[in-house]
Structure 1
Amino acid sequence: MAESAQNTSMPYRTLGRTGERVSAIGLGGWHLALPSVDKELAIRIVRSAIDRGVTFMDNSWDYNEGASERRMGKALKDGYRQKVFLMTKIDGRSRKAAARQLDESLERLKTDYVDLVQHHEIIRYEDPHRVFDENGAHAALLEAKAAGKVRYIGFTGHKDPHIHLHMLEVAREHGFTFDAAQMPLNVMDAHYRSFERLVVPELQRQGIGVLGMKSMANGIILKSGTVTATECLHYALNLPTSVVITGCDSMEVLDQAITAAESFRPMDAAQVGALLARTAEAAARGRFEPFKTSSIFDATASNPDWLGDEPKRLRELMPA
């Protein structure tokens, strides 16, 4: 993967122990197929982001019934694919479901490989066990990596930091270390069920790339009236993140994200403390992080068939 335009002011960071250099801001894929974003605008957002130095592209097999991947695939034609580090996610927990979803993602994205594929929505304590079952999704991703369809493997989740730690532990028991992990990292997370405090230090210890998401919780955090969009992005960038992934549904929002990355300077303890003090009361019970406290953001809960079959060995234990 070649870096995007070198004459930009975009900061670049290293993705954990992979050594890959990626833009500090990543372009989220979900917003690219919202009702307010037509195909032409989506392509313009992707290509403009790349032209301005964004190299990390986020997507998922389940975003907008595949429309997000299809639009990104169109945008990455004409030489743009070679300029980016392309990531997508799969929901399948079984080997069969994961392999099928990955192949569908590759077809939609119009590419032979993705740089990073992630097990999506690890939000239940049983998810790691299903993934690492002998006929689980991890086996499919290892096969895909051997076949050149995947370069790196990670996982995502938005529910509880202890489930992330559980995923890391189950992976360790199977002799595997992830290349990246994605989680909510924002000015309110530090106060409630905190990924920043519990998961990030462990990722650093293992050399796993830290991917931050939900820096504004799809705008919900801004409704608290405690912080601005730029403050949200700067706070997330100040953490030991390799990439802060942010969704952009307009050129104005894209410009806001890129300007925030270009203007970012490391924050001192007093600056961080001031932001945390300002958000403490609003953040205390997770009100502005509903992905932690409700099922509204749990796409796989609404679509359990995406996960695929339960492990055969468990089904055989059930009474006839």
Structure 2
Amino acid sequence: MEYTTFGRTGLRVSKLGLGGAPLAGVFGPADEREVEKMIHEAIDGGINFIDTAPRYNRGESERRIGQALRDGKRNGVVLASKAVGPDESFGYADTIRSVEQSLERLQTDWIDLLQIHDAEQAPYETLVNETLPALEKLRDDGKIRYIGVSTRILPLLMRFVRLNRFDSIQFYARYMLIDHTAKDELLPLTAENGIGVVNGSVLGLGLLADTPAPFLRSDIVTEAAQRIEQLRFLRTKEPHGLVEPAMRFSLSQPAIHVTLTGAATCEVLRTNMAYCDGRGLAPDELSRVYALFQGKSLFPAE
């Protein structure tokens, strides 16, 4: 397992992190006993960053993680969650209540990183004047340690970075083989400002695993298929042959501190952990990927 320093927080984190959505069955059935076993195996294998949210099956992900981190395992984990929960506003009171409920489900007195979830869903003014002050109050009270923000909208993330009140950002499907637009402006900006970076959905919501999520628009799936065809030179012989290069593409990017793995079984977890060995794409392969899709966003910009 490889480790790095999470921006200016000073936290030492594994470059591979465990994503919480699959643990709650968000993308398909996930046996609770298998999930607990997998969390323990992840920790034993060196993963120390776990990311979850109350919106993942209405708190079930947090509950399962809290159960798995009993008996002293919590202390060895950098635990990240988000606000707000389902059916809650981004207002001050709802944000406080959301985090308090997360603490209960996670069975912990503190959360290391608390992120605003899908920031594009609320007006910027609400986030700055209500959500963020609530998180700052929780930080002052010792209930959270650091504050982050997540969204797939790159210009919005850049706006938050420049605000200089966040310790980290999280995006998804913006630094992957078929859409790496985060590298053009966002990643240089986060590096300059010492911001921790979490990358989610490096498989493009299933596109690079040949299993696109059913909710994806048909035009996006069609465009992705055309781009994937151009990546035949990267395919391995294994089923879903772009998974390994996709994982290595993100894990070897120095400006990305944590790449999340969306595993719901121990078998998938072990496979993904094997890619966190310091080996990325060959230089000529990386240059070719960058040249193919330079500045070409796959998903809508807003």
- Alpha-carbon separation, structure 2, partners of 1:218 and 1:253: 16
Given the alignment, which residue of 102, 105, 113 partners 2:102? 105
Is residue 55 of structure 1 aligned with residue 55 of structure 2?
no
What percent of counterpart residues are identical? 29
- Alpha-carbon separation, structure 2, partners of 1:151 and 1:105: 14
Given the alignment, which residue of 132, 157, 163 partners 1:138? 132
Alignment of 1:258-297 (within 5 A): 258-262=273-277, 264-267=278-281, 269-276=283-290, 280=293, 284=296, 286=298, 289=299, 292=300
**Alpha-carbon shift at residue 246 of structure 1 (Å):** 1.7
Q: Which residue of 1 aligns with 2:2?
A: 11
Query: How many residue pairs get matched?
Result: 266
- Alpha-carbon separation, structure 2, partners of 1:128 and 1:217: 26
User: Residue 65 of structure 1 aligns to a residue in which SS?
Assistant: coil
The letter for the 1-side match of 2:170 is Q
Given the alignment, which residue of 101, 119, 123 partners 2:120? 123
- Alpha-carbon separation, structure 2, partners of 1:206 and 1:234: 25
- Alpha-carbon separation, structure 2, partners of 1:252 and 1:293: 35
The letter for the 1-side match of 2:184 is R
Q: Which residue of 1 aligns with 2:176?
A: 186
The letter for the 2-side match of 1:155 is V
Alignment of 1:226-237 (within 5 A): 226=231, 227=235, 228-237=242-251
User: Residue 155 of structure 1 aligns to a residue in which SS?
Assistant: strand
- Alpha-carbon separation, structure 2, partners of 1:246 and 1:267: 18
Give the alignment's TM-score, normalised by structure 1: 0.78
Give the alignment's TM-score, normalised by structure 2: 0.82
Structure 1 residues 112 and 285, CA gap change in structure 2 (3 angstroms): closer
**Alpha-carbon shift at residue 59 of structure 1 (Å):** 0.2
The letter for the 1-side match of 2:188 is P
The letter for the 2-side match of 1:180 is S
Is residue 221 of structure 1 aligned with residue 208 of structure 2?
yes
**Which ranges in structure 2 are unaligned for 5 or more consecutive residues?**
211-224, 236-241
User: Residue 132 of structure 1 aligns to a residue in which SS?
Assistant: helix
- Alpha-carbon separation, structure 2, partners of 1:162 and 1:33: 30
**Alpha-carbon shift at residue 255 of structure 1 (Å):** 0.9
User: Residue 23 of structure 2 aligns to a residue in which SS?
Assistant: helix
Given the alignment, which residue of 168, 173, 182 partners 1:195? 182
- Alpha-carbon separation, structure 2, partners of 1:163 and 1:244: 21
Alignment of 1:145-184 (within 5 A): 145-158=139-152, 160-169=153-162, 172=163, 176-184=164-172
The letter for the 1-side match of 2:195 is I
**Alpha-carbon shift at residue 196 of structure 1 (Å):** 2.1
The question of whether the paired residues in 2 share the 8 Å contact of 1:188 and 1:276 is answered with no
Q: Which residue of 2 aligns with 1:210?
A: 197
User: Residue 64 of structure 1 aligns to a residue in which SS?
Assistant: coil
Per-residue CA deviation, residues 160-212 of structure 1 (Å, 9 max, x unaligned), is 2112122234xx2xxx431111112211222xxx2221211111111001111
User: Residue 148 of structure 1 aligns to a residue in which SS?
Assistant: coil
Given the alignment, which residue of 11, 15, 19 partners 1:24? 15
The letter for the 2-side match of 1:53 is G
**Alpha-carbon shift at residue 218 of structure 1 (Å):** 3.1
Structure 1 residues 130 and 275, CA gap change in structure 2 (3 angstroms): same
Q: Which residue of 1 aligns with 2:238?
A: none
Per-residue CA deviation, residues 65-97 of structure 1 (Å, 9 max, x unaligned), is 110000000011111101110000112421111
Q: Which residue of 2 aligns with 1:83?
A: 76
**Which ranges in structure 1 are unaligned for 5 or more consecutive residues?**
1-9, 295-320
The letter for the 1-side match of 2:18 is L
Structure 1: 4+ residue segments shifted above 3 A: 224-227, 266-269
Instruction: Provide the alpha-carbon RMSD of the alignment.
Output: 2.0
User: Residue 210 of structure 1 aligns to a residue in which SS?
Assistant: strand
**Alpha-carbon shift at residue 36 of structure 1 (Å):** 1.4
The question of whether the paired residues in 2 share the 8 Å contact of 1:128 and 1:167 is answered with no
- Alpha-carbon separation, structure 1, partners of 2:71 and 2:296: 48
The letter for the 1-side match of 2:177 is V
